């Protein structure tokens, strides 16, 4: 009597049912104990689909007169399954390409079929498709467009089933086993794959309320020249910037800019490496990409410190450990380019506040580049000086202050300092005063000295209309107060004219 031993992939993809229906299976089907244990684990976690698949398979096998037995295999590794197949003189039934290949190499009988999904991820990525969203029981949805200008499309003619999505995931796993892809994250409730240009996130119940696959593909690849950056900024990136933050909201083109900057440094003869999670930057082979998920901070630190790259791109910095690793490497002399999520440019800097000493921040971050809709909209530079912080007056309160400046204009926009036990981030950029507001401010000053006056402000110039008999009341003190008030309101010129009835 023929014997067949199955693994979890064959159960998950409905391969057992197909073989039974086609009359290929006969004799005895052996289910390893490890498969049943995983079915139980999924059931207890709230996901009943695998148990339902087992029930349907067993029912069909019994209808076909096929005996079922349990084998006490406690591991689903290839060596355990192949060893049991040899001991029992059984054929292996699997959808796992790696297991089938090893069995063939050892001359062990094996029935293999690739995952039988009707879906191909590549078929969904048409023109300008940024991401594909697949979920069981729901029609596929596509995000089409460009960063900041996209829309959702729903393919109503398709409703996705669990079995098709499971087969699609098994296909991803086959690519991992054959070395065509990376499994960046493997948890009970989720998996993250990097397959060529596609970053794929898979979520399982009970972490999600149904099996869900989200695939993202970059649609734009630019060179640094195509960003048309000011020459002053390009010179800074070439010769001065070594602690760079690339910031912006999700989907605003941070990774695209990081790719362009990494390739630009490579073209300058620099040694460039990356730390990613997942490794989704599309870069030349000359740039080595390290995975944060299959290493620990100590290993990354040692490798980068000893290999001495000129620049390291740290993509997707999230937790405190990421910021600490970035700071440690930068202080060790490695040029760092960090990519962070931030809704405003100052938010990117504040991610370091409380994680490192305030005075060290300009040594760690010297340039912040903020992107919106794929365009560089703000560049900050940082420096530390000792001064009285903005808003305080007592000279005894002078202390180290981190000044955050608009790099292109040179204007200080924020000051960061410690007062007591708190760290303050103070905006100091002055709000532009309207012409009507400036007129009211100056009239309030004049009314202290003259009885009849009117002020008009035009294009930065204030015209003071004063009664002829009261012009002599404009003392030096009055004029100084007018100049001081005008300076705060952005007024640079004054003109006095007689007010006539």
Tell whether 382 and 398 lie within a shared domain: yes
Of the given ranges (37-41, 108-112, 440-444), which has the lowest mean pLDDT? Answer: 440-444
User: 354 phi and psi, to 5 degrees?
Assistant: 90, -15
Tell whether 245 and 373 lie within a shared domain: yes
* Residue where a domain terminates, one of 216, 237, 258: 216
Judge whether 371 and 247 are in contact, CB under 8 Å: yes
Q: Name the pTM for this structure.
A: 0.70
Judge whether 143 and 125 are in contact, CB under 8 Å: no
Note the pLDDT tens digit of each residue in 56-104.
Answer: 888 888 888 889 999 888 788 888 899 989 999 999 999 888 899 999 9
* Residue where a domain terminates, one of 185, 216, 247: 216
Note the pLDDT tens digit of each residue in 320-364.
Answer: 889 999 999 999 999 999 999 999 999 999 999 888 888 899 999
Res. 147 pLDDT band, cuts 50 70 90: low
Mean pLDDT over 372-397 rounds to 86
Task: Return d(Cα 437, Cα 441) in angstroms, integer.
Answer: 6
pLDDT score of 105 = 92
Question: 340 or 448, which is more confident?
Answer: 340
Mean pLDDT over 270-283 rounds to 90
Q: What is the domain extent for residue 351?
A: 224-427
We report the CATH number of the domain holding residue 460 as: 3.30.300.20
Looking at 342-440, which runs of residues are DSSP E strands? 367-372, 375-387, 399-406, 412-419, 422-427
**Is the pLDDT at 310 greater than 80, yes or no?**
yes
We report the CATH number of the domain holding residue 47 as: 3.40.50.1010
Residues 6+ apart with CB under 8 A from 412: 403, 404, 405, 428, 429
Tell whether 413 and 325 lie within a shared domain: yes
**Is the pLDDT at 432 greater than 60, yes or no?**
no
pLDDT score of 431 = 53
Judge whether 44 and 34 are in contact, CB under 8 Å: no
We report the CATH number of the domain holding residue 248 as: 3.40.50.300
User: 268 phi and psi, to 5 degrees?
Assistant: -85, 5
Mean pLDDT over 376-403 rounds to 87
Tell whether 295 and 347 lie within a shared domain: yes
pLDDT score of 148 = 64
Phi and psi based region of residue 396 (left: phi greater than 0; alpha: psi -120 to 50; beta: remaining): alpha
Q: How many folded domains does the chain comprise? A: 4
Tell whether 11 and 83 lie within a shared domain: yes
Tell whether 254 and 403 lie within a shared domain: yes
Mean pLDDT over 260-275 rounds to 95
pLDDT score of 441 = 80
Residue 418: count of CB within 10 angstroms of its CB: 17
Note the pLDDT tens digit of each residue in 212-248.
Answer: 999 998 877 889 999 999 999 999 999 889 999 999 9
Note the pLDDT tens digit of each residue in 399-423.
Answer: 899 999 999 888 899 999 988 888 8
| 190-to-51, 119, 201 alpha-carbon distances in Å | 19, 20, 7
* Residue where a domain terminates, one of 394, 427, 460: 427
Note the pLDDT tens digit of each residue in 44-53.
Answer: 888 888 898 8
Tell whether 52 and 127 lie within a shared domain: no
Mean pLDDT of the chain: 87
**Is the pLDDT at 292 greater than 70, yes or no?**
yes
Tell whether 230 and 335 lie within a shared domain: yes
Tell whether 183 and 234 lie within a shared domain: no
We report the CATH number of the domain holding residue 137 as: 3.30.450.90
Question: 258 or 162, which is more confident?
Answer: 258
| 124-to-119, 161, 203, 283, 486 alpha-carbon distances in Å | 9, 16, 19, 24, 61
Tell whether 141 and 250 lie within a shared domain: no
pLDDT score of 430 = 56
Planar angle of CA 480, 391, 426, nearest 5 degrees: 130
Tell whether 237 and 209 lie within a shared domain: no
Tell whether 126 and 108 lie within a shared domain: no
pLDDT score of 2 = 87
pLDDT over 90 for what percent of the chain? 39
pLDDT score of 103 = 92
């Amino acid at each position: 009597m023929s014997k067949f031993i199955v693994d979890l992939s064959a159960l998950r993809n409905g391969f057992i049912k197909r073989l039974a229906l086609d009359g290929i299976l006969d004799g005895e089907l052996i289910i390893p104990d490890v498969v049943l244990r995983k079915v139980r684990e999924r059931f207890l976690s709230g996901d009943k689909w695998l148990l339902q698949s087992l029930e349907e398979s067993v029912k069909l096998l019994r209808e076909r007169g096929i005996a079922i037995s349990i084998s006490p295999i406690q591991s689903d590794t290839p060596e355990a399954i192949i060893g049991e197949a040899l001991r029992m003189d059984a054929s292996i039934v699997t959808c796992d390409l790696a297991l089938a290949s090893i069995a063939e190499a050892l001359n062990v009988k094996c029935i293999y079929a690739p995952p039988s999904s009707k879906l191909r991820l590549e078929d969904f990525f048409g023109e300008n498709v940024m991401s594909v969203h697949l979920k069981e029981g729901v029609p596929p949805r596509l995000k089409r467009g460009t960063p900041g200008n996209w829309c959702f499309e729903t393919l109503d003619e398709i409703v996705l089933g669990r079995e098709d999505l499971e087969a699609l995931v098994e296909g991803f796993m086959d690519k991992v086993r054959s070395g065509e892809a990376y499994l960046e994250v493997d948890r009970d409730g989720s998996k993250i794959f990097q397959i060529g240009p596609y970053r794929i996130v898979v979520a399982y119940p009970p972490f999600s309320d149904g099996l869900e696959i989200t695939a993202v593909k970059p649609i734009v690849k630019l060179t640094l020249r195509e960003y048309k950056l000011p020459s002053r900024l390009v010179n800074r990136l070439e010769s001065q910037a070594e602690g760079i933050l690339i910031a912006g909201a999700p989907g605003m083109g941070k990774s695209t800019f990081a790719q362009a900057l990494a390739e630009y440094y490579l073209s300058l003869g620099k040694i460039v490496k990356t730390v990613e999670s997942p490794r989704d930057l599309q870069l030349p082979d000359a740039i080595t990409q390290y995975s944060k998920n299959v290493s620990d901070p100590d290993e990354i630190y040692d490798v980068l410190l000893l290999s001495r790259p000129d620049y390291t791109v740290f993509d997707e910095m999230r937790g405190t450990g990421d910021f600490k690793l970035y700071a440690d490497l930068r202080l060790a002399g490695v040029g760092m380019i960090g990519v962070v999520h931030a809704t405003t440019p100052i938010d990117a800097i504040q991610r370091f506040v409380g994680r490192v000493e305030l005075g060290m921040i300009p040594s760690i971050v010297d340039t912040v580049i903020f992107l919106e809709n794929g365009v560089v909209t703000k560049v900050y530079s940082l420096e530390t000086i000792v001064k009285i912080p903005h808003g305080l007056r007592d000279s005894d309160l002078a202390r180290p202050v981190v000044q955050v400046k608009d790099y292109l204009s040179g204007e200080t926009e924020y000051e960061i300092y410690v007062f007591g036990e708190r760290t303050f981030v103070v905006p100091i950029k002055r709000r532009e005063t309207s012409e009507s507001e400036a007129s009211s401010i100056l009239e309030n000053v004049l009314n202290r000295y003259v009885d009849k006056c009117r002020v008009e402000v035009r294009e930065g110039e204030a015209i003071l209309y004063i009664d002829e008999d009261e012009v002599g009341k404009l003392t030096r003190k009055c004029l100084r107060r007018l100049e001081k008030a005008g300076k705060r309101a952005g007024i640079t010129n004054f003109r006095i004219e007689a007010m006539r009835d």
